[in-house]
């Protein structure tokens, strides 16, 4: 007896009900501190992008010669760039703190079968960050 051909499976048609959704204001994130902090955390990406772009511009100025480098340093000291750098720096610091807090959930470290508590992972990240920052500062300031 030959096996009966299986009937082709009917394609699943998703049923889309017409949802009623209350319209959310574009400014929803301004209503509560936690929402605002969430959007602020997303905006920290500006700090990262600013860091990349400015470092590349610094490299370009270095490549062009001492005069171009001097002009670049003068422009960096202008009120506009000081404001931008301060904003980027504050966002970068906020990114560092939120990223390290997150690492306690993202990194599961086990020593001898027991999970290392999150607070130690966060503390370890901060310690490593301080060491890295101190080495870079020492290198640039010596």
Which CB atom, from 85 or from 116, has the smaller least distance to another protein? 85
> How many angstroms separate the CA atoms of 129 and 125, rounded?
6
Which CB atom, from 107 or from 120, has the smaller least distance to another protein? 107
Which CB atom, from 38 or from 115, has the smaller least distance to another protein? 38
Footprint of another protein on this chain (CB under 8 A)?
24, 26, 29, 39, 42-56, 58-60, 62-63, 66, 69-70, 73-74, 76-77, 81-82, 85-86, 88-89, 92-93, 95-96, 99-100, 128-129, 132-133, 136-137, 140-141
Q: Closest distance between another protein and the C-beta of residue 117, in Å?
A: 21
Which CB atom, from 89 or from 120, has the smaller least distance to another protein? 89
């Amino acid at each position: 007896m030959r096996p009966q051909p299986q009937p082709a499976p009917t394609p699943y048609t998703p049923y889309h009900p017409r949802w009623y959704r209350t319209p959310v204001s574009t400014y929803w994130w301004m209503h509560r501190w936690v929402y605002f902090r969430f959007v602020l955390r997303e905006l920290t990406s500006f700090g990262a992008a600013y860091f990349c772009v400015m470092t590349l511009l610094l490299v370009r100025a270095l490549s062009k010669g001492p005069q171009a480098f001097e002009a670049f340093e003068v422009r960096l000291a202008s009120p506009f760039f000081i404001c931008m750098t301060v904003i980027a720096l504050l966002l970068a610091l906020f990114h560092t703190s939120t990223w390290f807090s997150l690492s306690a959930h993202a990194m599961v470290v086990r020593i001898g079968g027991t999970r290392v508590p999150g607070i130690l992972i966060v503390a370890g990240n901060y310690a490593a960050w301080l060491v890295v920052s101190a080495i870079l500062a020492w290198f640039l300031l010596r």
